[in-house]
Amino acid sequence: MLEITRAGEAVLAEMLRRRHLEEEETAAGVAAIVRDVRERGDAAVLEYTLRFDGVALTETRVPAEELAAAWRDLAPELKEALMRAAGAVEAFHRRQLERSWFVTGPDGEVTGQLVAPLSRVGVYVPGGRAAYPSSVLMNVLPAKVAGVPEIAMVTPPGKDGRVDSSVLAAAYLAGVTEVHRVGGAQAVAALAYGTAGIRPVDKITGPGNVYVTAAKKQVFGRVGIDMPAGPSEVVVVGDGSQPAPWAAADLLAQAEHDPGAWAVVVTPDEGWAQAVREAVLRAAASLPRREVVTAALRDHGRILLTRDMPEAMAVAGRLAPEHLELLVAEPLAWLGRVRNAGAVFLGGRAPVAVGDYLAGPNHVLPTGGTARFCSPLGVYDFVRRTGMVYYTPAALTRDAPAVAALARREGLEAHARAVETRGATT
């Protein structure tokens, strides 16, 4: 468990290959679920909920009064923590707001971009193994800031058929329109295609397990998705200057999420690497979710040794992790070398956990190497942008010859005539 090895090309290639293997293996099974929900609607959703979650339901929607009661009855310290987190998350995301804009040209023509919120979105909040009220805030508040009027939340029920009260309380605080106690690929399919009980949405956001991620990819095109946000990942780059137990704690914090979670250290300091490994093994035994932690570290835990810090940063960029920690003496000095990370945590006093809950930036982040081309969830995920063109007669007369020349070069005679006809009748 948590093998120490040199960060050679073969090792990195194998890690990257295994990263996608589970999802590929689940694709066919997920496709069957998506197709079944599309064809049979609620009946299929309820059957899969019974099969996978062991819960027999007659309907999925959680009554609105249950959300209000969850908030009313929440312990005061949790209520205070959720309100603090909500304030920080909302303040951060308000800085991402885009506005419509317009530019007037020399002959009175106007071009611009219209920015408007999506009409209805679905947010997936993980459940089953644990409750994640923080994920409710991270998914819902950017949508609320964007102005989305309808937000449908789906989350797996517990064994008693209910949704965790802290999750419902967070949904009430954030302003969710409706909550459905259903998870997995069947929830994603229901949001995409709609059922009698769950109306379809325009876009689906939120992290989930390998089945949820595969389902989101398969319904993309029918609806939008934010990103393939699957099992959690952390890569800790260390120079040996920070306490080994800090790195160990952060590895364990990611490993306890899911057996598929990644927990990786990259360092040129072999002595520190060994100290981190020993600290992990000592601390893992006392964790309540040690079975999950053990599975994650066994299958996806690595300590990679490099020649020096520049190589360590290059390896981290190659892995393109969801979370990148720079557990080094001078983190700002290395920030310019960061490539391909969902979020970066600088220095020994900024563990991933503060970003998970209270710092403000979104914790719904690209995983599986998609940080090479995806960004964190944000307000921009909940708006659509529409180009706008208005031309005056003078502007069209000015531009018509160039438009016609380009159109004819592309073999599109009707395009050329569309502008020339207007010029002739002005």
Residue 113: count of CB within 10 angstroms of its CB: 14
Sign of CA dihedral 397, 398, 400, 405: positive
* Amino acid letter, 345: F
d(CA 179, CA 330): 45
Report CA-CA distances (Å) from 262 to 66, 307, 389.
36, 23, 48
DSSP-based helix, strand, coil % in the chain, nearest 5: 50, 15, 35
Active site residue 93: no
Contact 75/169 with Cβ under 8 angstroms?
no
Active site residue 363: no
3-state secondary structure of 350: coil
Q: What number of H helices and E strands is found in the chain? A: 16, 14
Q: Which of 180, 257, 300, 323 is catalytic?
A: 323
Which pair of tokens denotes residue 204? 């689906």
The helix (H) or strand (E) run that includes residue 117 is: strand 110-117
Q: Which of 22, 23, 233, 322 is catalytic?
A: 322
Which pair of tokens denotes residue 196? 């009698």
Strands 110-117 and 178-180: unpaired
Catalytically active residues are: 322-323
